[in-house]
A and B are shown apart, each in its own frame.
Chain A
Amino acid sequence: MYDFNVARPGSIDEAVKLLSDEDAQALGGGQTLIPTMKQRLAAPELLVSLTNIPEMQGVCRDGDTLSIGGATPHAVVARDAAAHFPGLAALAGQIGDPAVRNRGTLGGSLANNDPSACYPAAALGTGATIVTNTRRIASEDFFQGMFDTALDEGEIIVSVDFPIAEVSAYAKFAQPASRFALVGAFVARYADGVRVAITGASETGVFRWTEAEEALSQDFSHEALDGLSVDSDGMIGDIHGAPTYRAHLVSVMTRRAVAAAI
């Protein structure tokens, strides 16, 4: 690790100002960034911690929307969202281990957009809106491929607005060593249709499985998915699983998410 300084601003404005320096970087829970710095794959001179800003903390319901602060740890979401949006809370409760859930944050996870992360499936699978210090970004526009997002330099995720689903569930096949998603499927039913988002599987990161969405919007049952599958072309093939295995798991996990949601 190279030398760096840490700032802990108390407001968004202050954070944004500090981040205007090109050698500064936002710090959420540090669960991804700190290991990256240890491996010297990142070398910011200033870390701007976002965990001391009250507006970026906590879970708050406004009608059919659950708004979650960008610096809210996974464990808090798992606990406080449970009464409002059980599918989302359950997803947060399956991330990593207790230490990771107590430190890692929603904003950090989305900004990082790891192809095997869980939250991107929830954001895309609910049609969430990512609220930054400058704008509101639809989840469809936010994720732009592995480790890539629509965020500009120095832009921070202040909160995320999740439309609350009628029913929803996340089914995750955990890679046994790291517990990251080898494949994860988030399924959510709304009055106007069903959304299905898949993480862990595709080389382009989280994606919506539209065929499954159409079938499920007609008939929200796992039988509705019979005969449907995704092409293994473009699926990730790595030391943990072949593209065909991941493609297979996409259908299985989606079915299981549907079954769990009902």
Chain B
Amino acid sequence: MTVAKPLPHDSAALHVTGQARYVDDLPLPEGAVHLAFGTAPVAHGRLRSIDLTKVRAADGVLAVITAADLDHEIDVSPSPSPEPLLAGDTVQYVGQPVFLVIAESHLLARRAAALADYDIEELPAILSIEEAMEAGSRFEEGPRIYTRGDAAEAITTAPHSLTGSIEIGGQEHFYLEGQAAAALPQEAGDMLVYSSSQHPTEIQHKVAHALHLPMHAVRCEVRRMGGGFGGKESQGNSLAIACALAARLTGRPATMRYDRDDDMTITGKRHDFRIDYRVGFNGEGRIAGIEFLQLCRCGWSMDLSLPVADRAMLHADNAYFIPNMRVESHRLKTNTQSATAFRGFGGPQGMVGIERVLDHVAHAVRRDPLDVRRANYYRPLAGASGGDISEQAKTQTTHYHMPVEDFILHEMTERLVETSDYRARRAAVAEWNARNDVLKKGIALTPVKFGISFTLTHLNQAGALVHVYQDGSIHMNHGGTEMGQGLFQKVAQVAASRFGIGIERVKITATDTGKVPNTSATAASSGSDLNGMAVQAACDTIRERLAVFVAERAQARPEEVRFEGGKVLVGGEALSFDEVVRDAYMARVSLSSTGFYATPKIVWDRIKGEGRPFFYFAYGVAVTEVAIDTLTGENRILRTDILHDCGASLNPALDIGQIEGGYVQGAGWLTTEELVWDGKGRLRTHAPSTYKIPACSDRPDILNVALWDGANREETVYRSKAVGEPPLMLGISALMALSDAVASCGKAYPDLDAPATAEQVLRAVERVCT
């Protein structure tokens, strides 16, 4: 069976030979026009007028469009709260698109876009979380609050309590391929759109709306993205719509891509947070109650901020049963880029909050943080390991009242403690620190429990379209998009396995709204779960028809027919798959089918904070060891050991790739990736020369990744589990290891903010020493 084989990425050879096509590589018909946005120079202001004379007169410029030229306000937002394509009377952040230049080339368009003379009356800008809280600048009428028990009471009556606060920076997606789109006008006003988007249906919908067309008149195709990470869930809308408008206006194909600096300046990033906490606990570090205040900087428009902030609340427990918990979340509106989806979708920030609390509590009770973590874990599953069965049988629930029915972190932690040699290494770290004054080491183990499903329940659906051609080769299509994560290959493995044939017989095809309609974004880690199941359903429909057909001929029952090793086995006979297909075609059997899947079991009330938002949880554990230079704050990850749960993996090679990449991206977020805005709201880190993402050489020299060998308890595709987002949060172990290293310098708690840049680490060392 092809499923579970560690096959390479289907496009790996194309990637490394440069043959893989991205939007900007597509040969366009002659006469294509190129677009660029002119963007707002101030963070907040009234746009009195804008002189575009020089822009219009610039070389190669064909047309310039402002909001006033549009026949209606074009909305690019994925949320119910509109976001104009081009700023109208007010500008809301530095980098906001104000006008669109249509020119003969990319460079000419960009050059012209820089020539506008703005007359703007500057208004006070709200930039920081604190300013937004003070001004009451927010989305939604007030904070969202999820509670279980009485946290305030539990904290007051607990033997010990403490308070703290952590600032968590945002993160630039830094997909290697920037945002890009192209639109080709079709006959009768129809539009074909190519987009580097995780959400082709949204592109189709938004373009149709902008052009006053029914959705059937717009088709969006996405072969692949050069990375998405959530940054292409909604941020591609503007480019696709701009291209469609320009294509309609000029009657020529239109294409647009953001240059890296423009991309970083215009598009949203991961939400930065400040999380305040108050926690009550006993002398062992067992937590009785926590109050979290999550302050989330959303930027100027709503975008996906509400579900992102919800997910941060939903991961405020991570792996821990907190009997009394209150999470209060403020979604703050600021004059900065509109923060958006980013791998983990708020979950990572919520999880950093609780891991910080565990670290702080462990420091207060002077215990190994690992022991405190385990003491607070959700209860082991009934029958998992000895103890009082009746007590164990009671499933614990999260603070949003969802039963935790698949908790496997006790076993996973135990295994990783062993394989990583955690205890001995922790002792060695302590010994090193006793002997060395300048270089200090730290080690930490942190767990991940990540909820899988879109919290907007209706999004948990997917469709597929499978054709079997008369030669036995297969065309497979589904609503998921490929962004390098390997989704297409995994789903192709499912298709090949259903028919019992080799993977080379399955053609992977571009995501296309004309083939599979009404798709959800490839997001929430759900790509394989949803689309794998939909493809499986489509394949099974065709397989069933073939089984009926051959069974009838062989006077056997359809249930007895098996598809294996390129053969169809029936009544003791082994027919070749191709032969069966050919005969079925001749016998006029339909060889094409759609497939559909909707995730079962989930119900969720996001206002009350009650229900079962997730089908299941994916788990992981990581141990990271770091060294810090206590005189400069510089730090390095020395070694990382990871044990991660992909259920029964569809493809261990691709899954391990996702885990390694997720860890490195998570550790980068929390250590070197620092976004800096100046007092005027200008993002000063908008290129790799100022914004440091991890490179190959920043990967720890020792990076051991193993997969947990259990199947998903829920009926997912081949009992696998989602892997896109969860491993990012394994990177939290790097931040906690740094905290451990800093703590070794003195008595006080390090209080380390993220990202823990060298300067931050040095400050923490100074705090701890004095």
Contacts and interface: CB of A to CB of B under 8 A. Distances in A.
B628 to A, nearest CB: 13
Contacts of A252: 631-632
A178 B632 contact: no
A178 B691 CA distance: 9
Contacts of A178: 689-690
B632 A173 contact: yes
A178 B634 CA distance: 15
A177 B690 contact: yes
Interface in A229-262: 239-242, 245, 248-249, 252
A178 B695 CA distance: 13
Given A239-B684, A245-B759, A177 B692 contact: yes
A37 B553 CA distance: 77
Contacts of A240: 690
A176 B692 contact: yes
Give the residue among A176, A242, A245, A249 with the most B Cβ atoms within 10 A. A176
Contacts of B674: 239
A177 B689 contact: yes
B729 interface: no
A243 to B, nearest CB: 11
B632 A239 contact: no
B672 A176 contact: yes
B676 interface: yes
Nearest to B685: A239
B187 to A, nearest CB: 41
Contacts of A245: 759, 762
A252 B758 CA distance: 14
Interface size class of B (residues with CB under 8 A): 10 to 19
Contact of B691 (A173, A177, A248, A249): A177
B688 interface: yes
B688 A248 contact: no
B759 A241 contact: yes
A177 B762 CA distance: 18
Contacts of B684: 239
Nearest to B111: A40
A32 to B, nearest CB: 12
Nearest to A183: B632
Nearest to A182: B758
A240 B758 CA distance: 10
Contacts of B672: 176-177
A248 B762 contact: yes
A248 B758 CA distance: 12
B618 to A, nearest CB: 31
Contacts of B634: 173
A248 B762 CA distance: 10
Interface in B666-696: 672, 674, 676, 678, 684-685, 688-692
B762 A239 contact: no
Interface string B686-718: 001111100000000000000000000000000
A177 B759 contact: no
A156 B278 CA distance: 65
Contacts of B632: 173, 249, 252
A242 B672 CA distance: 16
Which one of B632, B674, B676, B692 has the greatest number of beta carbons of chain A within 10 Å?
Answer: B632
4 tightest Cβ-Cβ pairs between the two chains A and B:
A177-B692, A239-B676, A176-B692, A178-B689
Given A178-B689, A239-B690, A241-B759, 6 more contacts: A173-B634, A176-B692, A177-B672, A239-B674, A239-B684, A249-B632
